[in-house]
């Protein structure tokens, strides 16, 4: 593998090269991988359609690059080390050789159960090594994996399965998370009542919970594996063949199946992993995300394995059995690179130093954050108490749609600045635009964050809905990919992400569409209309605040709040439950009927003295009523 960028000077040179001749820049990176056939053309693109193709006509399989390529020199090195939810349960290690065997065997299991190249396979699993094995086996046989986070409800699961017409569902009898067991198979059964495309369900035994197996449809993971051969020659894929679909929330109720393809994603996740974290041989790398999110895809599975690293996978939660768990795992495993979310940092900071002090964190070299803006206070705590002032913090800005880290300092190489994601990676061309789409040049400016040139791991479409892909990302500002985020650029050209400018709220690092929560609440027989906004929350970053109009005045408001949240839990998932529900008799609307969320956001933030001009409202008097009963 090529060397990492290792000085600010070199970053500047590489950045300049990547702008002057992007094709030559990326071609060099791509040449380090194993290909069955070299590409004919590095890049073709047209943002107006949008169409995009990287390494056109190249032939490869990404798992040969994650596994087979390392067998000769690193066969015995640990690829994945898994740590159980329960600290007394034995951890499990898979060397590159062992992981290769498991992936080949499971590839045969998938084939034996009827899976073919191009099929969509849904994974609804706990954070166990078998999840990573299943992801890689899908890629090995050329099937498209769609991982659904195991915290989602049966309805969310069936919606996602149906959207992509998945033919196989892989799940487990249950999943451990802290004190709780999530009944994954029961939830899957409920989902499969309305998923006609599912032909087979492969069930991993994890919690030994009592479940029912439907004959013909359901098979046990371990029984299938016993029969499976450990040789499997990887399906040869085209560079632009789809690799996976991953759902993310949008401004309408229906989640978007973001689709990524093979070669560009491979090149970019490996390159960004090595450079941002300054990975070097022998490092023990731990990303605490769940594989149900993009961070887990790119920086637990693909990026680290492509780079031949040792990646830790943790089944549990940061506060079980107590708030020292992360720090204990770092000490025990001599973790050198630690990547987590601001919400976890804030939650653990709030628990106090008595949970940190007992542990030796001297193995740490690099710290990272992802998922939402990190506030300065949490940044300083992370720096001082966890990094002991010795570890650069990389604040990595990116999205499900971008596939890999876009704006971030390179650990210890380019400067950091608290609460700033800082500078774009070489190869990435961000810009700020005003409301009309005009680029805002110069420094000390603020605007909407766009990217004006393609990069290899960019999403190619929304599964089954290219029109929506174009409308969401390429129609707001001509010839730019629009991120949905606002940002400012300081006097040194460093970026600070200020938050979403659309109807997405980031709660504990998870994207939630307001429309999705609203339509779940609207299902209640006594709910007439709802409006959801986010408000600043000390731990979660944002909390969910619901303004609800009822058909008839509730007798027991507290009971109704519970019922409404139960619907949200059922239709979306527990993470989307409202923190505050305020019953109102009307909502502030414009004369054309649009809810003025700006006003509701102010009220939710407790800033109702400064609501700006409300004279354009259809009925300004509702505002007073809402203000008075605000929570």
Which single residue is written with the structure tokens 């300054």? 278
Q: Which one, 158 or 457, has the nearer CB to ligand WTA?
A: 457
> Residue 49's Cα: distance from chain center in Å?
26
List the end-to-end C-alpha distance of the chain, in Å, as a whole number. Answer: 56
Q: Answer yes or no whether residue 312 interacts with ligand WTA by CB under 6 A.
A: no
Question: Burial of 147 by CB count in 10 Å (0-12 exposed, 13-18 middle, 19+ buried)?
Answer: buried
Q: Nearest approach, Cβ of 370 to ligand WTA (angstroms)?
A: 5
> Site mask, ligand WTA, residues 469-488, x = CB under 6 A?
--------------xxx---
Strand extents, DSSP E, 445-526: 445-451, 461-462, 481-489, 495-500, 504-507, 510-513
Q: Answer yes or no whether residue 399 interacts with ligand WTA by CB under 6 A.
A: yes
* Torsion 155-156-159-160 (CA) sign: negative
> Which part of the chain contacts ligand WTA (CB under 6 A), choosing from 198-206, 274-282, 364-372, 530-538?
364-372
> Site mask, ligand WTA, residues 256-295, x = CB under 6 A?
-------------------------------------xxx
Directed axis angle between helix 154-164 and helix 184-192, to 10°? 50
Among 263, 497, 584, 623, binds ligand WTA (CB under 6 A): 497
Closest CA to 5 of 30, 21, 29: 29
**Across-strand partners of 340?**
369
Report the C-alpha gap between 332 and 329 in whole angstroms.
5
> Which part of the chain contacts ligand WTA (CB under 6 A), choosing from 19-27, 61-69, 313-321, 393-401?
393-401
Among 156, 248, 480, 514, binds ligand WTA (CB under 6 A): 248
Q: Answer yes or no whether residue 372 interacts with ligand WTA by CB under 6 A.
A: yes
Which single residue is written with the structure tokens 């569409």? 513
**Across-strand partners of 422?**
495
* 107 and 133 Cβ atoms separated by less than 8 Å: no
Q: Answer yes or no whether residue 35 interacts with ligand WTA by CB under 6 A.
A: no
Q: Answer yes or no whether residue 371 interacts with ligand WTA by CB under 6 A.
A: yes
Q: Answer yes or no whether residue 370 interacts with ligand WTA by CB under 6 A.
A: yes
Which pairs from 533-537 meet CB under 8 Å and 24+ separation?
Answer: 533/505, 533/597, 533/600, 533/601, 533/604, 534/505, 534/506, 534/507, 534/601, 534/604, 535/580, 535/601, 535/604, 535/605, 535/606, 536/605, 537/507, 537/579
Q: HEC string of 354-378?
A: HHCCCCCCCCCCEEEEECCCCCHHH
Among 42, 192, 329, 421, binds ligand WTA (CB under 6 A): 421
Q: Nearest approach, Cβ of 308 to ligand WTA (angstroms)?
A: 23
- By CB under 6 A, the residues from 291 to 310 that bind ligand WTA are 293-295
Closest CA to 474 of 151, 18, 50, 168: 50
- By CB under 6 A, the residues from 498 to 537 that bind ligand WTA are 500, 506, 511
Report the C-alpha gap between 289 and 264 in whole angstroms.
22
Among 272, 400, 508, 514, binds ligand WTA (CB under 6 A): 400
Q: Nearest approach, Cβ of 294 to ligand WTA (angstroms)?
A: 5
DSSP state for residue 464 in the 8-state scheme: T
> Which part of the chain contacts ligand WTA (CB under 6 A), choosing from 45-53, 98-106, 344-352, 396-404?
396-404
* DSSP per-residue letters across 239-253: TTSEEEEEEE--SSS
Among 64, 395, 516, 518, binds ligand WTA (CB under 6 A): 395
Q: Answer yes or no whether residue 457 interacts with ligand WTA by CB under 6 A.
A: no
Q: Which one, 11 or 293, has the nearer CB to ligand WTA?
A: 293
Among 175, 304, 373, 430, binds ligand WTA (CB under 6 A): 373
Q: Which one, 381 or 397, has the nearer CB to ligand WTA?
A: 397
Beta carbons within 8 Å of 570's beta carbon, 6+ residues apart: 153, 154, 155, 520
Report the C-alpha gap between 339 and 341 in whole angstroms.
7
Q: Answer yes or no whether residue 241 interacts with ligand WTA by CB under 6 A.
A: no
Q: Nearest approach, Cβ of 413 to ligand WTA (angstroms)?
A: 18
Longest dimension (CA), the chain: 73
> Site mask, ligand WTA, residues 530-569, x = CB under 6 A?
----------------------------------------
Q: Which one, 174 or 447, has the nearer CB to ligand WTA?
A: 447
Q: Nearest approach, Cβ of 241 to ligand WTA (angstroms)?
A: 23
Q: Which one, 497 or 532, has the nearer CB to ligand WTA?
A: 497
Q: Answer yes or no whether residue 249 interacts with ligand WTA by CB under 6 A.
A: no
Look up residue 606 and give its two tokens. Answer: 């407790």
Report the C-alpha gap between 328 and 332 in whole angstroms.
6
> Which part of the chain contacts ligand WTA (CB under 6 A), choosing from 63-71, 368-376, 425-433, 540-548?
368-376
Q: Nearest approach, Cβ of 32 to ligand WTA (angstroms)?
A: 25
Q: Enumerate binding residues for ligand WTA (CB under 6 A).
A: 248, 293-295, 370-373, 395-400, 421, 483-485, 497, 500, 506, 511
């Amino acid at each position: 593998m090529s060397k990492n960028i290792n000085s600010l000077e070199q970053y500047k040179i590489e950045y300049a090269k990547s702008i002057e001749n992007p094709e030559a820049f990326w071609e060099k990176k791509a040449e380090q991988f194993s290909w069955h056939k070299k590409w004919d053309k590095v890049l073709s693109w047209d943002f107006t359609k949008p169409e995009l193709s990287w390494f056109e006509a190249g032939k490869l399989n990404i798992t040969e690059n994650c596994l087979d390529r390392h067998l000769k020199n690193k066969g015995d090195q640990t690829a994945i080390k898994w740590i159980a939810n329960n600290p007394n349960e034995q951890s499990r290690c898979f060397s590159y050789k062992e992981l290769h065997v498991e992936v080949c065997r499971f590839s045969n299991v998938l084939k034996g159960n009827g899976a073919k190249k191009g099929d969509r396979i849904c994974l609804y699993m706990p954070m166990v090594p078998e999840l990573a094995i299943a992801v890689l086996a899908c890629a090995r046989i050329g099937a498209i994996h769609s991982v659904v986070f195991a915290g989602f409800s049966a309805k969310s699961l069936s919606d996602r399965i149906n959207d992509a017409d998945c033919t196989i569902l892989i799940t487990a009898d249950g999943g451990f998370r802290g004190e709780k067991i999530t009944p994954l198979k029961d939830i899957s059964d409920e989902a499969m009542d309305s998923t006609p495309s599912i032909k087979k369900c492969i069930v991993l035994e994890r919690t030994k919970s009592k479940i029912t197996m439907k004959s013909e449809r359901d098979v046990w993971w371990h029984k299938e594996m016993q029969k499976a051969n450990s040789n499997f020659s990887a399906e040869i894929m085209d560079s632009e063949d789809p690799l996976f679909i991953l759902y993310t929330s949008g401004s309408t109720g229906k989640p978007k199946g973001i689709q990524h393809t093979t070669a560009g994603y491979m090149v970019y996740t490996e390159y960004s992993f090595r450079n941002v974290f300054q990975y070097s041989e022998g490092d023990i790398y731990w990303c605490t995300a769940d594989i149900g999110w993009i961070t887990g895809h790119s920086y637990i599975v693909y990026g680290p394995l492509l780079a031949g690293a040792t990646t830790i996978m943790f089944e549990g939660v940061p506060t079980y059995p107590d708030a020292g768990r992360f720090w204990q795992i770092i000490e025990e495993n001599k973790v050198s690179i630690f990547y987590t979310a601001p919400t976890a940092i804030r939650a653990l900071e709030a628990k106090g130093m008595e949970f940190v002090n007992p542990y030796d964190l001297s193995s740490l070299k690099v710290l990272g954050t992802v998922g939402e803006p990190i506030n300065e206070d949490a940044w300083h705590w992370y720096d001082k108490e966890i990094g002991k002032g010795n570890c650069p913090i990389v604040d990595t800005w990116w999205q499900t749609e971008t596939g890999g880290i876009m704006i971030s300092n390179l650990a210890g190489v380019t400067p950091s600045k608290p609460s700033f994601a800082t500078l774009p990676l070489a190869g990435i061309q961000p810009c700020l635009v005003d409301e009309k789409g005009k680029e805002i040049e110069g420094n000390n400016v603020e605007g909407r964050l766009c990217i004006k040139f393609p990069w290899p791991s960019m999403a190619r479409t929304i599964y089954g809905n290219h029109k929506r892909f174009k409308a969401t990302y390429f129609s707001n500002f001509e010839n730019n990919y629009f991120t949905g985020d606002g940002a400012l650029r300081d006097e040194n050209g460093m970026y600070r992400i200020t938050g979403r400018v659309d109807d997405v709220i980031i709660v504990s690092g998870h994207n939630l569409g307001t429309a999705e929560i609203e339509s779940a609440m609207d299902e209640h027989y006594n709910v007439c209309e709802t409006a959801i906004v986010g408000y600043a929350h000390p731990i979660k970053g944002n909390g969910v605040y619901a303004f609800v109009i009822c058909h008839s005045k509730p007798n027991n408001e507290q009971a109704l709040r519970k019922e409404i949240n139960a619907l949200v839990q059922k239709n979306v998932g527990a993470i989307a439950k409202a923190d505050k529900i305020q019953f109102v008799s009307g909502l502030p609307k414009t004369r054309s009927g649009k809810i003025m969320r700006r006003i509701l956001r102010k009220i939710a933030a407790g800033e109702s003295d400064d609501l700006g001009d409300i004279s354009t409202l259809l009925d300004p008097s509702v505002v007073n009523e809402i203000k008075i009963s605000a929570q």
